[in-house]
Amino acid sequence: MVAAEVIALRAKFRTLADIHRFFAGKLSWSGNVYRAAITAGLIGDLALARQLFARIKELDPNRNGFFCRERQAECAALAACLITRGLIGP
């Protein structure tokens, strides 16, 4: 049974774009916003990555769990890298 599940997941998530579509379709949870922001950047959708990084910046760490501040710092650093390289505007 486990092997069949692995095969099904491999078929469902064959590419990075498949993984991105999954997370981008479930943005009601902050963890998926983070994952969608990262995968958006990796597939080259920099406008969406920027928008999602900004959304993460606005999260309230007191309401969004232990890792929120860590994710906010990481996303701020990634957004700054995109800006520094001229890939997105400030």
In the prediction, which pLDDT does 85 show?
A: 65
pTM value is 0.79
Q: Tens digit of pLDDT per residue, the chain (90 long)? A: 899 999 999 999 999 999 999 999 999 887 889 999 999 988 989 889 989 999 999 999 898 888 889 999 998 998 888 777 665 555
Q: d(Cα 78, Cα 54) in Å, to the nearest integer?
A: 11
In the prediction, which pLDDT does 84 show?
A: 72
* H, E, C per residue of 8-63: HHHHHCCCHHHHHHHHHCCCCCHHHHHHHHHHHHHHCCHHHHHHHHHHHHCCCCCC
In the prediction, which pLDDT does 88 show?
A: 57
